[in-house]
Structure 1
Amino acid sequence: MGFCGWAAGTLWKTLILVTLPHLTCHALCPASCLCGLDGGVQCHGNTIADVPELLPVNASQLLLDRTNITVINKQSLARLRELFDLDLSSNRLSSLASGLFEGLTNLTNLNLCKNSIKKFPPTIFHNLTNLRVLAICYNELEVLEAGIFDDLVNLVELKIHRNKITSLPLHVFWALRNLKTLTLSSNRLEAIPEKSFYNMPKLNKLNLFNNPLQLSCNQLFPNCWICEPPKLFANYRLSSIPATSHQRYVQLAPLFCRSLLCHNKQQAHPPSTAFNAVVWACPGGCKCQETKILCSGLSDFPTSVPGSTTELWLYDNRLRRVEDGAFRNLTQLRLLVLSRNQISSVSTGAFGGLEHLEEISLHTNLLTTLQAGLFQGLPSLVNISLEHNSISSLPSGFLRGLSSLGEIDLRNNSFPNLKQESLDALAIAKDVLLQQNPWRCDKDILPLRDWLKKHTSKTNQTLVVCETPFSLSVITVCTSHSAPFVMIKCTSQRSLYCCTSRTDVACADDEPIVPSCGKHSLTSDSKHLPLNLKHIEISSTPLTLIPVGVFRGLPNLEKIILKLNKLRRLENGLFDGLVTVTELQLHGNEIESIEAGTFDSLENLVMLHLAKNNLSTVSTDWFSKLHKLQTLRLYENQLTTIPDDIFVNLPNLKEIGLQDNPWHCDCNLIPLHLWMK
């Protein structure tokens, strides 16, 4: 039996599971830290100015980053002899004491990036013979002392990019015979000593991008190394470029080279293991892990992303547009995440050339339309995430050519209906998520209703529910009938939904009352509204405030919808006397504060929708009188934690939506974790 056959109104208990890290708050852990049962210790925050005392001596991992520490005493780490992972990045260190790491012979990973260190003591890394990864990038280093790396015989990766180094000591890397990756990009190197990389048999990636160098492979490696023609020209000057290459590429850019491939003539390396020199630097604002790149804090798309990238994560940035060819060089890309930005426009050719792309995420942006042909030329695409936007229609043939499409997520957009040609396009997907849209069940909903009945396996049809008219608001689209459908005509900025039924919305002599909301405020006078009004909607307006008194004298109200406005705060008294209201929708506003007592009169409230606002805190007192509340939605706010007693007065709560908040997953979330269990 398909989902259409299920009874409408079935209650679903939806739990947004929060998985807490294995952390404990026991007394043996410093107050400013979190200590895991597996030996991990995390100490973060601007309140930390010194290395915490009494760190567990059995700690195997110490993440002491993003603090205000300026100096580390030599004895601060001496007891932590079981450490294998030490992260001191993003602090305010300008120097390190000689012998600071003495005795930490088990260290395999050491991160000192993003400090202000200008010079290391010559013996700072001595005796760290087990170290495999050393990161000293994003500092103020001007010189490297001779012999500084001599004891790092097992080092595999060395990151020195984003410093101010002007020269290298002779043979400074010769002890690193196991090194595979060396990153020296974005320094001030003007020359490299001859034979600097001769004694490094396992080196297969050397990054010298963005240095004022002029060099060729013959200057870097023994005579057994030869150069192929450069593949790309951009941002890097080379002195030896074959004439054929110049003739071929001169139209692309000035004579700058970004890619230089060098091959060992004495070994038959396949192309996949060829030495790759002067290829790329991890773009600014990004973290790079092999072929995965994650970027944050960006207003523009990163430049110089390597063509070998398979995953590009650009979520939680400030990107606004995606232009044609934005990713044209990323021909190996398989995952592209553009969610949680401010993207309002994506050009038709934005994803051109991404023939291997399998998944694209554009959820939680400002999209209102999609361009026809946006996903053409992506034969490998399996998943498309477009949820949490404001898309109201789909262009004809927008999924043409996607023979492998598995899931397309269109939840929580602005679809009132879907045209037949759009539904025909969706039929190629295995799963189609359509819930949480403002489906308007008039005659234009019939194509969607029939499509749902035909494709029972593609979507959970019990969740695709009419939002308007209010008389059908608990009816699923696929179980509704054509008889009740009437033409509904409203202004584009309606304050009350218009229909022909006096009990559904405000009507006088069968004419709808539609006060103007084309301004930023309402008057508190409601005397022109009939006393029998049950449902009211004020949506998609520029209103920033609804004053106390607007709903006074409307004792029969059952549903209030105030979504997609610009409301910034809710005042105590706004809902006074509304004891019959069971549903209150306030999502999609800019609410930052709610006065205590605002919801106290809503004693019969069953559903409260506060998602997609700017709430950074919630108070237990807000919900203390809502004993009948079953659904509470707080997703996509700015919450980092919630009170541990928030559920005390909510005995009937069945659904709580908390996803997509910037949670601090510490001990304060344990009550939520236990409640969900």
Structure 2
Amino acid sequence: MTVMDSFFQGTLWAMLILSALPQHKCSTMCPSRCYCDGGGAVKCVGYITDIPPHLPTSTFLLILDQTEMNVINEKSLANQNLLLRFSLTNSHLHTIHPRAFHSAPQLRSVKLSSNNLSVFPARVFTPLTVLDQLQLDGNKLETLAPDMLEGLGALTELDLSKNKLDNLPADLFDGLTKLVFLNLGRNYIKRLSPTIFHSLTELDRLLIYNNEIEELEAGIFDRLYNLTELKLHSNNIRSLPPRIFWSLGNLKTLTLSANQLKTIPEKSFYHMPKLEKLTLYKNPLIFLPDQLMGYVPGIRDFYLYETNLTTVPGNLFANMSGLLSLNLHINEHLSELPHDLFCCLPRLNKLSLKSNNLVNLHPSLFSGLATVTLLFLNDNKLQSLPEDIFLDLGNVSTLDLRHNNFHTLPGNIFSSNTVLTSLTLSANPWNCTCAIRDIAKWIKRNAHVIPDREDIICHSPEYQILRTLDSLSDEDLGLCDAHSTTYFPTGNPQHETISYKPAFAISSRARRTVAAPRASPTTTASATTQGTTQQVTSTRADPTSRAPILRTTPVPSFLPTPTTGQTTRIPKTHNSMDSSDVYVFEDGPEYVHHNLLNGWVYVWSLPSDTVWFGIHMFCQVVLIIIGLVLILHIMCSLHRLNKTMIKLSSHIGYQPIED
């Protein structure tokens, strides 16, 4: 057992020593607070005040991040003959020795982002003749010397963004003939020389966004033949020179949003056939010329919002045949759209016209948009829509009509939209009278495609307020079939012809008070009194003919003419009263309420003469008050009398009678 124990103990120690040898070797080659991957890449993080002097001899990439370095000394990069890429970021670096890069001329990339650099020594980068990437973004640079980039003929990428630059020397980029990427964004640049980019003939991407540029000089982009991306958004550009972009035949992205453009010169976007993205939103545009866009079939998305446009040219999108998404929304003054505006968009999938000031839409506005699946018309001021406006939108699946001024819609307006999965109609002032019947029926039949149906509520008339459209029944809209209504005359015993304007009606079959239309009917009615029976004429529409049919209905003698402030009892089951008859008090009550009880319709009315009604009610209130005062006075008098009687009784006392 002792021999075996010794064997196992010896084997264990050998394994521990062998496993520790490579780790010890690595620790001697890689400095403290650094990580070395063994392939030549070294990353150091933390409390480091200078470049570690004992880096592996094979180091070609050195990354220093979040360190305490303040200065790059003359000898900091000495003895790093294989170092090609040097990065010192997110540190406190504020000074670079004028000869700091003389000991490492082989560098291909220098990244000094997010430090405290405010100035560079003259020609500090000149020894780096093979440098192709220089990133100086996120510092505090305010000015650049004209010769700062001298000698960097191999440079392809230069990032000066996120500094405090307000002016650039006109010849700063001279000699950078191989530059393909230049980022000047997020500075304070107010003006650029018209020749500043003329030597950058190979430039592919130019970013000048988020500055304070107010004007672009004519010809500034004339020699950027290979440019594919130009970002000018978020400046203060107030005007564009004519034809400023005409030399950019290879441009794919152009951003002009969030500037101060009120107008754009005619034909500004001609000769740009490869354009794929153009942004003009967030400009106070008040006018667009009829000839603005050249042939740009490659554009897929177009945004035009937050402008002061009241309308747009009818051919604005005519040359954008490849457009998939069009966002013409959030323009608070946009109130009119040309009828042929969307004529030439055979591939359009999404159309957003929300949050504009649209009141009416032309019936043919959407004709030809057979591929549209998403249509947003919400948050406008639309009051009505043509019956066939959605006729050609056979593939629309989402349609938003919320927050408009719709009182009603044609009942068959959505009949051709058979693939609808979401139709929103809430937040409209729906008027739940006869005109709403057809669309209300459609909503009932298609409740599964209306997610907000519980919020589609009546705003008028008063007796329907807060009811949902899908809760309206045929009885609620029972007046819709009558061209004119039966009425009770107001007591003229002679035969007369009366032109009347119905105010309120009672349906003998409905359990709800129904208001008749306030428009005067085109027919007249006559009323006569013969003995104790009145004759009432009603006009009804024959479903098989457009001509009205006149019918005379006798009214029993026990049915008195309704007068102000009385209750009238009408037999519901009387054979002279059809269950669909409607009775109107011509000059009678302002308000009518009825109840059904034991086969009778009890009608209670208030006077229509508000002055007389007010006097009448005032007198009644005064009489009630006087009565209450008299009752209180009597009760008080009785109480006092009772107290007096008790007091007298106590003074007299009780005396027995003697014999």
Give the number of the structure with larger relative contact order, counting CA–CA contacts within 8 Å between residues 6 or more apart. 1
TM interval, short-chain normalised: 0.3 to 0.5
Structure having the larger proportion of residues in helix: 2
The alignment's TM-score, normalised by the length of structure 1, stands at: 0.42
